[in-house]
Amino acid sequence: MTFEELKAQIESGQIDTVITSIIDMQGRLMGKRFHAEAFLEMAHDETHCCNYLLATDLDMATPDGYASTSWSAGYGDYIMKPDLSTIRPVPWLEGTALCLCDVLDHHTHEPIAFSPRQVLKAQVQRANSLGFTPIMATELEFFLFQGTHDQIAANGFHDLKPISNYNEDYHIFQTSKEEHIMRPIRNMLRAMGIPVEGSKGEAEAGQEELNIKYADALSTADHHTLAKHGIKEIAHQHGHAATFLPKWHEDRVGSAAHVHQSLWADGQNAFFDANAPLGKAQLMDHYMAGLMKYAADYTVFLAPYINSYKRFAKGTFAPTRSVWSIDNRTAAFRLCGDHTKGIRVECRTPGSDINPYLAMAAMLAAGLKGIEEKLPLGDAFSGDAYADDAQNHIPKTLRDARDALLASDMLNEAFGEQTVNHYARAAEWEIEEFNRVVTTYEIARGFEKA
């Protein structure tokens, strides 16, 4: 929806509310609802929010240790600068439109370097300077549960019941039972301007996957974030809860957010070379070699929480080793579309809990570094990557990933030390919060036996 189209719908009374949202560190929408006329009068230019919104955790707590803001600094304001190219209707909310905002410094009006949208924009600009347009796509995997989030929370998150009771991977009969939720999700997101292609049952009871058409990297991150938000709200309206927690049960398969990547130049896929083996251009070799060499450096952006690492398990279609292979779902990096103009690399490491802006920016930074360094790509792995995971293991804990982030010369150069330290602190806080909690597992295991 253009700004002029929004004006017309406000004047006709079709739209009376405009949501303005930034993307927070966790990849969520945070912002305000404006009366539509007030949005036209002033908020379309800029509005404000507290700067703690880029220094909180999942619970909206205000941890110490951030250089950007603190209690001692008084928690001032950021400018929310609406990106008018992102205006779109919200079909499941009556009379409502939404606009994403960039985050600017209140005094200088310069972009906040560590705001997720800006982190990705900076890497896209870097690719553009080399003559490339990053094209990406993400897959959204999630679980649907019986009862709303509020009802499940009131029950202490006990006796969680998925919407179905058996593996529904590609299962048309089972997913037909869930069409009262999935059909509105597909249709309403498409009406919102998100190019949804389809949905399917995934490899567990109650697990779904939504596929959205590839686009430029920033649009893909926007689509992912809005779709994730919409899925939760639409499921809630139908009396169900959607979760993007990567691993909700130790005996169940986890949820991923696979990211497909390629670089384009002059409207063509620069990863494709019809005369090369597999149709894989040397440029793609360098890019993939960068993804491989720096895989540990950016894992924290693909697996940002303690729970994220519970997903990396053998025989679950979640990778355990950073190897590349040809159309092999046991590897962290899968070459897709070989010998075709759609050739691309799929990273299977990211979990469903990613902030897509940060994850895509980190992988893009690694790939571009591989191009700059002209890194050679080793031979493709063949076979079961779970069979021997002693080499190139994905970091096993959030602490390992956080340490790799801090030690990464590549990301300190690409993102800047301020941004690296900011998200390293976010990871450290997650570790601190988890370590202070006594879990039900510890009590059950040791209450009598210890």
Pairwise CA distance, residues 410 & 389, whole Å: 25
Q: Could you tell me the domains of the chain?
A: 3-112 (3.10.20.70), 123-441 (3.30.590.10)
CA distance 111 to 78: 10
Give me the amino acid identity at 325: S
Q: Provide the β-strand partners of residue 49.
A: 78
pLDDT of 390: 64
Q: Looking at the DSSP assignment, which residues form a beta bridge with residue 100?
A: 21
**CB proximity list for 40: less than 8 A, separation 6 or greater:** 7, 10
User: Token digits for 375?
Assistant: 């890194």
205 with 252: CB under 8 angstroms? yes
Q: Determine the number of helices (DSSP H) and then strands (DSSP E) in the chain.
A: 14, 16
Which pLDDT belongs to residue 391?
A: 76
Please say whether the beta carbons of 214 and 13 come within 8 A. Answer: no
Residue 389: its pLDDT value, please?
67
What span, in angstroms and rounded, lies between the C-alpha atoms of 161 and 73? 45
**DSSP-assigned states of every residue in 169-227:** TT-HHHHHTTHHHHHHHHHHHHHTT--EEEEEE-SSTTEEEEEE--EEHHHHHHHHHHH
C-beta neighbour count of 49 within 10 angstroms = 21
pLDDT at 330: 87
Kindly tell me the burial class for residue 109, based on how many C-beta atoms sit within 10 Å of its own C-beta (0-12, 13-18, 19 or more).
exposed
Angle of helix 217-237 relative to helix 179-191, nearest 10 degrees, comes to 140
pLDDT 10s per residue in the chain (450 long)?
999 999 999 999 999 999 999 999 999 999 999 999 999 999 999 999 999 999 999 999 999 999 988 888 888 899 999 999 999 999 999 999 999 999 999 999 999 999 999 999 999 999 999 999 999 999 999 999 999 999 999 999 999 999 999 998 899 999 999 999 999 999 999 999 999 999 999 989 999 999 999 999 999 999 999 999 999 999 999 999 999 999 999 999 999 999 999 999 999 999 999 999 999 999 999 999 999 999 999 999 999 999 999 999 888 888 888 999 998 888 899 999 999 999 999 999 999 999 999 999 999 999 999 999 999 999 998 888 888 766 788 999 999 999 999 999 999 999 999 999 999 999 999 999 999 999 999 999 998 999
Q: Are 126 and 145 in contact (CB under 8 A)?
A: no
The predicted pLDDT at position 151 comes to 95
Length of the chain: 450
> Would you say 96 and 1 are in contact if contact means Cβ atoms under 8 Å apart?
no
State the Cα–Cα distance between residues 35 and 152, nearest whole angstrom: 33
